[in-house]
């Protein structure tokens, strides 16, 4: 993808790639030895995407993007901590990406665990507790807005976290980067836009 694209143009390119993916007409661009050679000297991605670690959500594939096109940050449930925020700052400030995307997904186990913890008032033991504690505030805010089923909570989680990143990562505003929240539907392979802040 060209590196001179605006945030809107990048999002349009990504959603077009997702449509190709959803209908099994992928271009599979820039995934060959020539592209590997091109990016040996450094990276120049067009977007930063914060996504879940779930193996069913292969970010570059579902946007039909190539090597070096997307700066991907993955944690269970898309949990945002200091390291994730710093990674976003690096993508925007040092790499110059014009767009930051928070991508949730259908049937997210981490979000499901957080919903269960909120509903039962039982916090899980072990390290699962770490991501449940990070996601539970999104669940509670989603519930306060009337979101009851998991699909609605996943979408609201994406919106909340996208706005959280915009508020907490100064480089986003300083560089005028766009922010999008989206949710990937496993069933049909499509990414639905939940929230946009793109000039």
Q: Is the torsion defined by CA of 82, 9, 188, 195 positive or negative?
A: positive
Residue 72 sits at the vertex; the CA angle it makes with 134 and 3, to the nearest 5 degrees, is 135
Considering the domain boundaries, does residue 91 fall inside one? yes
Considering the domain boundaries, does residue 38 fall inside one? no
In which domain, by residue range, is 52 found? 7-26+44-197
pTM of the complete model beyond 0.85: yes
Q: Which of 1, 114, 116, 100 is nearest to 51 (CA)?
A: 100
Considering the domain boundaries, does residue 68 fall inside one? yes
Cβ(191)–Cβ(182) under 8 Å?
yes
Considering the domain boundaries, does residue 31 fall inside one? no
- pLDDT confidence of residue 199: 77
Considering the domain boundaries, does residue 1 fall inside one? no
Q: How far apart are CA 112 and CA 155, in angstroms?
A: 13
Considering the domain boundaries, does residue 107 fall inside one? yes
CATH number, residue 172: 3.40.1050.10
Token digits for 119? 């509903």
Q: What is the pLDDT of residues 98-151, one digit of tens each?
A: 999 999 999 999 999 999 999 999 988 888 899 999 999 999 999 999 988 999
Low-confidence ranges of the chain (pLDDT < 70): 1-3
User: How many separate domains does the chain show?
Assistant: 1
Considering the domain boundaries, does residue 88 fall inside one? yes
Q: How far apart are CA 29 and CA 167, in angstroms?
A: 34
Considering the domain boundaries, does residue 33 fall inside one? no
């Amino acid at each position: 993808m060209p590196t001179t694209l605006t945030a809107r143009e990048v999002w349009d390119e990504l959603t077009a790639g997702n449509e190709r993916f959803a209908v099994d007409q992928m271009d599979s661009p820039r995934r060959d030895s020539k592209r590997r050679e091109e990016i040996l000297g450094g990276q120049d991605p067009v977007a930063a995407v914060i996504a879940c670690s779930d193996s069913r959500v292969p970010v570059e594939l579902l946007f039909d993007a190539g090597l070096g096109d997307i700066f991907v940050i993955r944690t269970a449930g898309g949990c945002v901590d200091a390291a994730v925020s710093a990674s976003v700052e690096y993508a925007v400030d040092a790499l110059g990406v014009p767009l930051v995307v928070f991508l949730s997904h259908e049937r997210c186990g981490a979000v499901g665990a957080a919903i269960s913890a909120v509903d039962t008032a039982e916090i899980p033991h072990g390290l699962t507790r770490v991501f449940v504690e990070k996601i539970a505030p999104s669940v509670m805010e989603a519930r306060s807005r009337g979101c009851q089923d998991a699909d609605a909570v996943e979408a609201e989680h994406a919106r909340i976290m996208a706005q959280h990143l915009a508020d907490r990562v100064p480089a986003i505003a300083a560089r005028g980067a766009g922010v999008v929240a989206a949710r990937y539907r496993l069933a049909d392979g499509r990414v639905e836009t939940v929230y946009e802040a793109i000039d």
